[in-house]
Amino acid sequence: MRVTMDLMRGWQVASGKWTLMMMDGPYHRNRVSINTRVRVHRPDLTTLWPWLLRCPGARTDHDRVKLLVGIWRAARRETGKLWPQCSVSAIAGMEIDYTNKLVLAPMVRVGTLPFRLLAAEYGADITYGEEIIDHKILKCERRINDVLGTIDVVEKGTDSVVFRTCSEERNRVVFQMGTSDAVRALRAAQILCKDVAAVDINMGCPKSFSISGGMGAALLTKPDLIHDILTTLKRNLNTPVTCKIRLLKSPQDTVELARRIEKTGVSALAVHGRKVADRPRDPAKWSEIADVVAAVSIPVIANGDVFEYEDFERIKVATGASSVMVARGALWNASMFSPKGKLPWEDVKREYVRKSILWDNDIKSTKHTLKEMIMHYSCLEFPEGKAVIKSETLADLARHYGEDNYYELINKSRFSFGGSR
């Protein structure tokens, strides 16, 4: 066994195939993975409680939950009480490396915590959350969820979760925001910027809701407002700031906007290779992304028409981009991030359901994601689609996908830690 202190004032306790740092019992009972470090510190930065787990046989969330229940009970016997409250160490100002990264794109009602973790498990290096409007965030408060071991952004006076994250994805999750005002964007970002790896501004959404509110693609024709929003965030946040745009009417217009964005000091620029009027069926214009790459020195993330693992290399070669972002291809089968090839569709769906159960995902979001998967490979009029549509709870989905025992195990483990639901 070895114990070392890293630059983030956390401790690594490693032995064999496992690395684990346990904090208080219930707070991080799900934060165990093979060859993973969990960095934590107490508020007073003086006392740390390492706890070593040896069990090379565990390979799934199901196994880990069972093991962690046992660990927590052993810790109580050892100490005679719950361990002192600890908190995840913030990594203020730590930049993401945007070189040769596979990136999960922001997708509304899809990019919640379970799907982000699913994509990361298959190989995604950076995962964007779904776009959330600044007005909505400003109606929320940040809460620590001791039962799940998550940080939740919740609507004030309710239990409605708007954004949920955890320490496991702290170094790769990007919070994407819709905004049309610099001050409002800053106030919203300050609520959760310490819990994410970067804050991204959506400047490419062509939906009428975004455009009518002066957000998304409406910003593409307002370079002064873009400059105001990005520079305001850069001046006041220690968290990296990025943005995502679409192509403008001409390649030169896109290049000029990209150069202006670069001057704001953003850490990276994602470019979707379609114009506002283009439809998803229209081919992405990789050559126009290449024009942007050639014109700026900041990392450019290329997005558009990436459906297979081999497409990551194809678009990189064609554009010269630093990294590659994928949306629909990952939605249809998140295992496309794996260099080993896609897993069977059925396996990916079931793993998504399990993660939705584990992280108590919103049923509407879970159903929407499953329906999108089903519509690509099958039809909602078939029995599976009808069962998903009729499901009203995660328990209903668990029964349909044969995960009843897993659902019961998770609920029992929550109850044993004083949780509810």
Residues 6+ apart with CB under 8 A from 300: 258, 268, 269, 270, 271, 289, 292, 293, 319, 321, 322
> Please, are residues 130 and 161 in contact by the beta-carbon 8 Å criterion?
no
| Cα→Cα distances 138→191, 192, 217, 389, 418, Å | 8, 11, 22, 32, 30
> How many CB atoms within 10 Å of residue 313?
10
Q: Phi and psi of 347, rounded to 5°?
A: -65, -40
| Cα→Cα distances 178→33, 63, 350, 360, Å | 33, 39, 31, 25
Bridge-based pairing state of the strands 198-203 and 173-178: parallel
Distance CA 140, CA 150 (A): 16
Distance CA 98, CA 95 (A): 9
* DSSP run (H or E) holding 331: helix 328-332
Residues 6+ apart with CB under 8 A from 341: 309, 335
Whether 205 sits among the annotated catalytic residues: the reply is yes
Q: Which of 86, 166, 193, 205 is catalytic?
A: 205
Looking at the annotation, which residues are catalytic?
205
